[in-house]
Structure 1
Amino acid sequence: MTPNPLAKMRRLAAALHDLRTSHGYNHAELSRKSGISASVISRIENPVNDLRRANLLSVRRLLDALEVPRNSQEWAAIESYTEDASAARWWDAAPYSRMGDGQRISALIEAGAASVWDYAGLLLPGVVQTAAYARHRILAVAGDNPAADPEPIVAGRLERQRRVVTEGSTEYTLVLEEQAIRRHPVPAPVMREQLEHLLSLIGDGVSIRVVPVDAHLDDGFAPRAPFAHVSYPDPLDPPIVGVDNAAVRVSLVTDPVEVTAYAQLHLRLLRAALSDADSAALIREVSSSLATTI
C-alpha cells in the first residue's frame, strides 16, 4: 500500500523538531547554520498548517547542519519520510486540478489509509456520492454563479470513492443519521439512485450504519459536524481526524487526546446505530418509498 504523504510529513516534522531542540537551536539559529530559511524550517515542522511538500535537498542540508551522519539509520529514516511525503499525488493530475482545496485535503488524509471511520449528519459524505447527487449538491452551493463547473469536483469525489471504498484495501465504516437518508436535498430520482448506490457499496470491508432519530446516545453527546477518523497501516503513523466545517475547508485534528475522543465518539455512534442488516433494510425501505414519488 502507498504510504500516506501527510503521515510521513508528520513523522519528518517530529524528527526534525526533536533534532533541532536537542541541539538547543531555535529556527533562526538553525537557519543560519543550514542556509535554509527559518520560514521553511517552520513549515516543515508544522505540516498540518502548511500542506506543501518538503524539499529533499533542503532536508538533507538541515540534517547536515544538525550533524546527523549520512550513513546512519537516522539519516536513512528521515530521508525516507521526505521521499514518501514528496511522492506524486493522484489529485495533482490534470483531471483533478480543480476539484477544490477541501477535497484535496480529504484525499490527502485518505491516501493509503487502513481504516476510515466516517460520520455524516444531514448530507451524505462526498466519498460515497453518486455523480448525480454530487452534481446537484455542488450546483446548489454555487447558487447563481454562471461560472460554476461541478465536473472537476465530481471527478474528484468519484476517484476518492474508487480508491477508498470500492477498489482499495481500506476498511470503510460510515455512520449516518437517519435524516441523511430521509431528507431530499436532491430531486427524488437522484436520491433514490443514491440510496440504491449506498446499498451496492455494503460488503467487502464497507459498513454503512444508520442512527435512528430516536436513538439513545451514550453520555448524551452528539457530533456538531461531519468528521472522518483515519488510521494507517504503519502503527507509527499517527491517526488523524478531518472535520468538515461548512464555512471553511476541512479542519485537521492531530492532538492525540482529541483524535482519541473522536474515535470514541464514533464507537458510541456505532453502538446507537442499527445493525448492518437493519440499516440496509431501512435504506431499502426509504428507497422504495421514493419510487412512488417519481
Structure 2
Amino acid sequence: MSTLDAVPNGIIRFGKEAARVTPNPLARTRRLGAALLALRTERGYSHAELSRKSGVSASVISRTENPLGDPGRKPGLLSVRRLLDALDVSRGSREWTIIEGYAEDAANSRWWDAATYTRMGDGQRTYALVEAGASTIREYAGLLLPGLVQTAAYARHRVLAVTGDTPVTDPDPIVRGRLERQRQAVGAGLARYQLVLEEQAIRRRPVPGDVMLEQLRHLLALMDGDAVSVRVVPVDAQLTAGFAPRAPYAHMTYPDMDDPPIVVVDNVTKALLITDSADVSGYAQLHQRLREAALSDADSAAYIRESAAELAAATREG
C-alpha cells in the first residue's frame, strides 16, 4: 500500500490536532549566520584568518554566514562550535548557548529528509522549508490552485501536465510531498492560512470535470474551519493603487518574532526566496490590498459553491 492509499480520497483536511511548534530551520540558519558574521567582523578576522584559527574551511565559513546561497543546507554543529571557540566565545555563556541553539535548530531532522519524500522535487523542498513552523501563511494564486489546498487527484493531473526535458512519469512522489506539506503546514491547526485566488483559478478547468468538482468541494470544506480563509478576486475588482502581482507567492511569518518573515515566489521553473525586509513587507502590504479588493470570505464561499453547482450540472449533462 502506498502512502497515498493511507489517506482517504487523498485529501488532507485542516484540523486542530495537537502538535509541537518547532522553529523554522531557515530562519534559525539565517540567525546563526548573522551572529557568526557579526562576531567575525567585531573580532576583525578575515575568512582566511578565522579558517586558520578554527580549522574550518573558509568556504564553509562563508556558506554558514550566507546561508541563502544553499538554503536547504544544514550547518555542521562541530564546525559551529569550532568557530565559536576560535571567536573566543566562552563555552556555557549565554552567547554560546544562544548561537549553538540556532545551529541545533537548523540542523534538526526535517520531515522531507525521510526516504518517502526524496523525489518530491526541489521546488517543493523550498516551499516545505519556508512553511515549516509558520504561524501565518499568506498565499496568492492566479490561474491554478496552490499545493496547500490541492486534492491528490488535482495534484496528480497538474504534475503530469508539466512538460520539459524530463517529463514526469510517476507523479506519486510529488503528490505525497504536497499532501504532507498540507498536513505539516496547516493540518495541525498551528498556522493560519490566508489564500487569495483570482476568479480564473475557480472557473478555469485545468483538470477533468469530476476532478475539478471534487477540488472545489474540498476547498469549501477547508473554509468551514477557523484556520483557513479563502477570498476570490473578481476579474473586474478595483485594486488599490492599481498594482497586481505578477506571479504566485507565499508570505510566511513565525511564532518567534525574531525569526524574520520570508516570501517564496513561484516563477514556474523554481521557487525564489525573498528575504530583504523592505521587499517582504511590500508583499505583506500587497496581500492586504488583494484581500480588501476580493470578495469577503462568505461571498467567496458562495461564489465557489455556485461554480461547483454549475460544474456538477455540466458533468451530469456530459
TM-score by length of 1: 0.97
CA distance in 2, matches of 1:261, 1:25: 36
In 1, distance between residues paired with 2:183 and 2:131?
Answer: 12
- Match of 2:210, SS? helix
Q: For 1:156 and 1:95, how far apart are their aligned partners in 2? A: 9
Whole-angstrom distance in 2 between the partners of 1:147 and 1:8: 34
With over 3 angstroms needed to count, the CA separation of the structure-2 counterparts of 1:92 and 1:168, relative to structure 1, is: farther
Deviations 1:69-102 (A, max 9, x none): 1121000000000000000100111111100000
Equivalent residue for 1:14, pick from 30, 34, 38: 34
Bigger shift: 145-154 or 102-111? 145-154
The one-letter code sitting in structure 2 at the alignment partner of 1:213 is: V
SS in 2 for 1:48: helix
For 1:143 and 1:22, how far apart are their aligned partners in 2?
49
Structure with higher RCO (Cα < 8 A, 6+ apart): 2
The sequence identity of aligned pairs, in percent, is 68
- Are 2:7 and 1:5 aligned? no
1:115-141 superposed Cα distances (whole Å, 9 cap, x missing partner): 000000011111110000000000000
CA distance in 1, matches of 2:136, 2:165: 38
Match of 2:306 in 1: 285
Q: Does 1:139 align with 2:160?
A: yes
Instruction: Name the SS for the 1:118 alignment partner.
Output: strand
Q: 1:227 aligns with which of 246, 249, 272?
A: 249
User: Residues 61, 150 of structure 1: CA spacing in aligned structure 2 closer, same or farther, 3 A cutoff?
Assistant: same
- Shift of residue 235, structure 1, vs aligned partner: 0.5
Structure-2 separation of matches of 1:63 and 1:144: 46
Aligned pair 1:84/2:105, yes or no?
Answer: yes
Structure 2: distance between partners of 1:63 and 1:162 = 37
Matched, 1:38 2:68: no
> What is the one-letter code of the residue matched to 2:41?
T
Name the CA distance, whole Å, in 2 between partners of 1:97 and 1:48.
Answer: 21
- CA-to-partner distance for each residue in 1:161-180, whole Å, 9 max, x for gaps? 11223323101000000111
Q: How many matched pairs?
A: 293
- CA drift of 1:48 comes to 1.5
Once the 2 structures are TM-superposed, how far is the Cα of residue 205 of structure 1 from its aligned partner? 1.2
Measure how far apart 1:212 and its partner are. Answer: 0.6
Cα-to-partner distance string for 1:169-201 (whole Å, 9 max, x where unaligned): 101000000111101111111111111110111
Q: Distance in 1 between matches of 2:68 and 2:218?
A: 33
* Unaligned residue ranges in structure 2 (runs of 5+): 1-20
Residues 235-262 of structure 1, C-alpha deviations (whole Å, 9 max, x = no match): 0100000001112x21000000000000
Shift of the 63–144 alpha-carbon distance from structure 1 to 2, 3 Å rule, reads closer
Q: Give the corresponding residue for 2:11.
A: none
Determine the C-alpha separation between the residues in 2 that align with 1:183 and 1:165: 26
Question: Which amino acid counterpart does residue 49 of structure 2 have in structure 1?
Answer: E
Amino acid at match of 1:277: A
For residue 236 of structure 1, what is the amino acid of its counterpart? D
The answer as to 2:177 corresponding to 1:156 is yes
Asked if structure 1 preserves the Cα contact closer than 8 Å seen for 2:232 and 2:294, the reply is yes
Q: Is the contact between residue 139 and residue 148 of structure 1 (CA under 8 Å) also seen in structure 2?
A: yes
Alignment of structure 1 residues 1-294 onto 2, 5 Å: 1-51=21-71, 52-142=73-163, 148-202=169-223, 203-247=225-269, 249-294=270-315
TM-score (norm 2): 0.90
